């Protein structure tokens, strides 16, 4: 079945304006909310491993900790039964074991709890993790810019990296909007989005380069539109099946994978969108400037 030819870049100015508006809203939200919320991985706190004598539903344990005011409780079932849990909590670690035991046992007097291990993550370690996460993303973008510039042209590299920065920024806006705490799972999702979005952009750019060689002229709006249409079927199929897989994680993966899968869903949607409406227009904008510099 042949897909009808669509003039994608006819609407490029509208979609670029839309992206700018979303980013402006994100900046506003950042200052209103006072920045991102951070999980134990980045803010410091404690990791507690516990075991119960009887099976316990994870939602009940989560509700108990929330009622008792524990900050950002993240709970993971670590065995095939419903007896062993790994719990991450933020806030003060002073007298942690006694406070935790008292709070939980007051709700579960008939289910004996054993605290097997407690690991404390200091605030300084959390700050170092934030810095390392930031550097991981920045270095990834720089390496990708260099790689694409060597393999293709600098204009293609700029288009691809601007699209990646766009995707990360949009996802972070939604993280703020949904009040999702930043964690190692969210960081993993952000780095995965980098690879996914880049792959989508590279497929379109590869087809543009083929058409440049075939037609013997520099890329223009008509050629880029044709290239996007030629790769559209592949883009839609890849995005659809990836999205279905991530939706399965979101609905059936439990609380632990919910943040990761939510960020991935947003990243897939905007990664596909940016390959068409951000990467390609930026490449077209940079290309003539590079050619003029060469001519001089």
Rg from Cα positions in the chain: 24
pLDDT in tens, the chain (296 residues): 455 678 888 888 999 999 999 999 999 999 998 888 877 777 777 888 999 998 898 888 888 888 888 876 778 887 777 888 988 887 767 788 888 899 998 888 888 898 888 877 666 666 777 788 788 888 888 887 788 778 778 888 888 889 999 999 999 999 999 888 888 888 888 888 888 888 888 888 889 888 888 887 777 888 889 899 999 888 888 888 989 999 998 888 777 788 889 999 999 999 999 988 999 899 888 876 545 544 44
In the chain, the number of structural domains is 2
Phi-psi region of 7 (alpha: psi -120 to 50; beta: other; left: phi over 0): beta
Residue 272 in any domain: the answer is: yes
d(CA 84, CA 107): 17
Whose tokens are 């995005």? That residue is 239
Same-domain pairing of 286 and 160: yes
Single out the residue in 94, 121, 148 at which a domain terminates.
121
Strands (E), the chain: 45-52, 71-77, 84-90, 113-121
pTM for the model stands at 0.77
Whole-angstrom CA distances from 196 to 84, 125, 160, 226 are: 35, 30, 12, 22
Same-domain pairing of 18 and 93: no
pLDDT at 295: 42
State which residues form the domain around 82: 45-121
Same-domain pairing of 268 and 280: yes
Domain containing residue 30: CATH number? 1.20.1640.10
Domain containing residue 111: CATH number? 3.30.70.3400
Single out the residue in 87, 105, 121 at which a domain terminates.
121
Bridge partners for 45 per DSSP: 90, 121
Single out the residue in 82, 97, 121 at which a domain terminates.
121
Whose tokens are 């900790």? That residue is 65
Same-domain pairing of 168 and 285: yes
Asked whether the beta carbons of 158 and 286 are under 8 A apart, the reply is yes
């Amino acid at each position: 079945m042949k897909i009808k030819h669509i003039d994608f870049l006819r609407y490029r100015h509208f979609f670029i304006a839309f992206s700018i508006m979303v980013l402006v809203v994100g900046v506003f939200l950042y200052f209103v909310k006072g920045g991102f919320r951070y999980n134990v991985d980045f803010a410091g706190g404690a990791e507690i491993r516990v075991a119960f004598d009887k099976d316990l539903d994870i939602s009940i344990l989560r509700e108990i900790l929330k009622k008792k005011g524990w900050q950002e409780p993240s709970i993971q079932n670590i065995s095939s039964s419903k007896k062993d849990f790994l719990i991450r909590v933020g806030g003060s670690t002073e007298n942690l074991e006694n406070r935790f035991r008292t709070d939980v046992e007051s709700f579960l007097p008939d289910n004996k709890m054993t605290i097997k291990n407690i690991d404390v993550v200091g605030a300084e370690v959390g700050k170092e993790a934030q810095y390392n996460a930031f550097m991981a993303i920045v270095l990834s973008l720089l390496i990708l810019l260099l790689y694409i510039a060597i393999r293709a042209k600098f204009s293609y590299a700029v288009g691809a990296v601007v699209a990646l920065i766009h995707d990360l920024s949009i996802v972070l806006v939604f993280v703020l909007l949904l009040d999702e705490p930043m964690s190692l799972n969210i960081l993993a999702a952000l780095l995965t989005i980098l690879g996914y979005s880049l792959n989508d952009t590279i497929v379109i750019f590869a087809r543009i380069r083929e058409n440049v060689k075939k037609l013997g002229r520099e890329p223009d709006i008509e050629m880029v539109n044709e290239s996007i249409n030629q790769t559209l079927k592949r883009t839609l199929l890849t995005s659809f099946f990836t999205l279905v897989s991530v939706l399965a994680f979101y609905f059936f993966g439990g609380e632990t994978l919910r943040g990761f899968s939510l960020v991935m869903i947003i990243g897939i949607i905007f990664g596909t969108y940016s390959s068409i409406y951000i990467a390609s227009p930026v490449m077209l904008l940079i290309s003539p400037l590079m050619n003029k510099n060469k001519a001089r």
